[in-house]
Chain A
Amino acid sequence: MSTRSLPPTPAYVLRRIGFYVLICAITLFFAVPMLWIASAPFDASPGLGVHWPDWTLENFRKTLEHPYAMHSMVNSLLICVTTAVAVTAFAALASYALSRVRIPGRDALLYGLLLLSSVVTGTAAMVPIFVMMFQLGLIDSRFGVALVMTGGLLPAAIFILKDFVDAVPKSYEESARVFGASTGQILRDVVLPVARPGLATIMVWAFVNSWGNFLVPFLLIRSIDKQPGAVLMQTLTDEGGSVNLQVLPVFSLLFSIPVVVLYLLVNSRYGFRFHGGIKS
C-alpha cells in the first residue's frame, strides 16, 4: 500500500497500460462469438461478422419452419434428459456403496475407472463402440446414444459424487437406523436430501456434457429425424451447400439456452459446489 502514496513511476504506468490492453484483447477474443450469437439471429442480413443488427424476427420464423431444426432440439432433450437421469441414478447408488462399504482396492478401482474412461471413451473407442452397438441392434437409436453417453460419463460422475457422499456423516444414517428406519427410508429421508446439492450438480454436469456431445450421436444415428441438435447443426446448409446463415444463428442461440438456464437454476438453488475428486 505504501507505493500508492508515492507518485507512480513512468515504467509502472506503462506496465499497467500494457497489462490492461492485453486483458482487453483477450476479452474481445472471447466476446466476439458471444456478440455474434446475440446479434446475428436478429439481423436481416446475417453474416459471419459482428455488427449492429438490422432488427427482424424473420430468421426465427425460418428456423421454426425448418423441417428438422426444432425436431432435433426435441431429440437432444430426449437423449440428454435420459442420460442425465441415468448418470445421476447410477452414480448415486455406486458412489454410496463405494463410500460406505470397504472394498479392498477401492481407491485403485476408482482411479483406474476414471483414467480408463477419460482415455478410452471418445475417439479411441469409436470403432469398438460402433461394433458393440451394432451387435446390440442399437444403431440409429436415441436410447442407444443415451446409453453410450451414460457409460462415458459415469466414472467421473461416481468419482465426484463419492466426495459428496463421503461428506455426509455416517452418524446421520446410524442415528436413523437406531430409530428403526429401514435402508430404503434412510436413503430417502436422510442420504438423498443431504446429498441433493451433489446430485443436482452431477445431473446438470451430465446434461451439459451430453448436450454438447457431437461424436457419439454422429456415429450411431443414421436418420436425420433422430439426430440431436449438436449433429444437425453442421448440416444446416441451404440448397447450394453453403451455410444457412438465416437458420444457423437462431439455432445456435436456442441451442445454448437450456445449458444457461440449467446453470442459473442450480447456481441459485445450491451454488456450484465442485469439491473436486482430489480427496482420500
Chain B
Amino acid sequence: MAGIDIEGLATVYPNGVRAVDGLDLHVADGEFFALLGPSGCGKTTLLRTIAGLEAASEGTVRIDSVDVTRVEPGKRGVAMVFQDYALFPHMNVSENITYPLKVRRVAAATRSEVASHTAGELSLQGLLERKPAQLSGGQQQRVALARAIASKGKVLLLDEPLSNLDARLRLEARTFLKKLQRDLGITTVFVTHDQAEALALADRIAVMDSGKLRQLGSPREVFARPTNTFVANFIGSTPMNLLPGKVAASSGVEGAPRPTDTTSSQNGSAASSAAVGLVSVAGGSLPAATFSTPVGAEVTVGIRPEYLTVASGDVTGPALRGIVVVAENLGTQSLVTVDCDGTLVGVTVPEETEPAPGTAVALTAPATRVLLYDHDSGELLARQPAPVA
C-alpha cells in the first residue's frame, strides 16, 4: 500500500496536445481517489501516465516515494482495470485472474490457489472454468477486478470502471466497489465522467478540465463550495444556478437577516458570527457571507437548486420573486423553474409540494449557501475570515 505523488506532470501527445498540463497531486495511502471531468479533459491520460502506458513529458510520478516516471508499467507495482476490462478471450476466468502471476512464473499450484481465493472474495466461485464471453457484464467486471487484485499491486487504477454496465447494475457495482476498496484498503485512483459516481465513491475528487486541475477536495467540499464556475456547472445532478448579479452591500447590512443558529448548525459552516452582505440578482436580492469585493462590482452568483427554499406568502428580507414556469418530477423531489424578472432560476422542492405553474413565489437562501464568483475569471471570491470574537 502506498501513496502517489505527482509533481508538475505534463503529458504531451506528438500532435502537440497537452493532455495533462502541469499537474500537482498527492493521493494518500489507502485513499479512494476520483479523477473527474468531461470527456477529453485528460483524466484518462493522467491515469495512463500513472500506469506508465503514456510517457510523461515533464514532471515526476512517485509511487510509494519511489520515482517511477521512467519505469516500465510492469515494474511500477500498479494494477489496472481497463474500461473494456481487457479480459483475454482465449483464457478462462481462472487463467485470466492468475495471468499476472504466470508472467512472474509463479508455480501452477500457487496460481490455482490464488485464483480460487480471489474468486471467492469477489463472488466468482463456480465461474472459474468459464470463458469471458460466457459471463455477464457485471461478472466480467469482477473478473477484471480479481485479476487486478491478484497481481498484488500497491496501487489500483480503474478506468471508467462502471461505464460499461447498465444503470441498474451500475448502482450495485458501485456499492460493491466501495466496500471492496474499504476492505482491501488499497490506494485506488479511478477515472469517471459521471459526477454522481465520483461523489458516491471517492474520498477525494480531482475535477479536471483541459489537462488542468480545477478543484481538489472531498465530495462534500466539491459539491457545496465549487471553487470556480466550471466545477459548479459540472458537479450536481441538477445544475447550479449561475446568475449575473451585482454586489449591493459587502457586510453588516441593516435589516438583513443574520444567519440564525438553525441554518448555521445545519450547514456546519464557520459563518455563524460573520456579518452578512447582499447581492442583487435577477430583480431581487440574496444574502451572502461577507466578502471583500467592492459594492457595485459585477459578480456571478452561484446557488444550488437544493439550497433554495420556496416561501409561500410574504417574505421580509432578501429574496428572489418570480413566477413558476415549469415543474419537473425527479422522484422524491421536483425541479421547479421560476422566472425571476426574465432570469430562469431552478429550485428543488420535496415531492407533492410543487407550486402550480403561474404561481407567484419567493425564493430564499441561507447566506452560507450563496457563492459569489468573479464575473470574468469565474473563480470563487474569497469570503473574509470571520471576525475573531
Contact = CB atoms under 8 A, between A and B. Distances in A.
Contact of B103 (A172, A174, A179): A179
A178 B74 contact: yes
Contacts of B102: 189
Interface string A183-201: 0010001100110100000
B223 interface: no
A177 B53 CA distance: 8
B82 A181 contact: no
A190 B132 CA distance: 14
A176 interface: yes
A180 B86 contact: no
Nearest to A179: B100
A175 interface: yes
A21 to B, nearest CB: 47
Contacts of A223: none
A27 interface: no
A243 B186 CA distance: 80
Contact of B80 (A169, A178, A185, A194): A178
Contact of B79 (A169, A178, A194): A178
Given A185-B103, A189-B99, A179 B88 contact: no
Given A172-B88, A189-B99, A190-B88, A180 B82 contact: no
Interface residues of A, number: 18
A178 B53 contact: yes
Contacts of B323: none
B102 to A, nearest CB: 8
Interface string B87-123: 0111000000001101110000000000000000000
B197 interface: no
Given A171-B82, A171-B84, A175-B80, A180 B53 contact: no
B88 A178 contact: no
B53 A169 contact: no
Contacts of B83: 171
Interface in B335-351: none
Contact of B73 (A178, A190, A193, A194): A178
Residue of A171, A193, A194 with most chain B CB atoms under a 10 A cut-off: A171
Nearest to B89: A194
Contacts of A176: 88, 99, 103
A190 B100 CA distance: 12
A177 B88 contact: no
Contact of A180 (B89, B90, B104, B147): B104
Contact of B90 (A177, A181, A193): A193
Residue of A176, A178, A185 with most chain B CB atoms under a 10 A cut-off: A178
Interface of A: 169, 171-172, 174-182, 185, 189-190, 193-194, 196
Given A178-B53, A180-B100, 4 more contacts: A177-B73, A179-B74, A179-B147, A190-B88
Interface of B: 51-53, 72-75, 78-80, 82-84, 86, 88-90, 99-100, 102-104, 147, 151
11 contacts: A171-B83, A174-B53, A174-B82, A175-B80, A175-B82, A178-B51, A178-B53, A178-B73, A178-B78, A189-B103, A194-B90
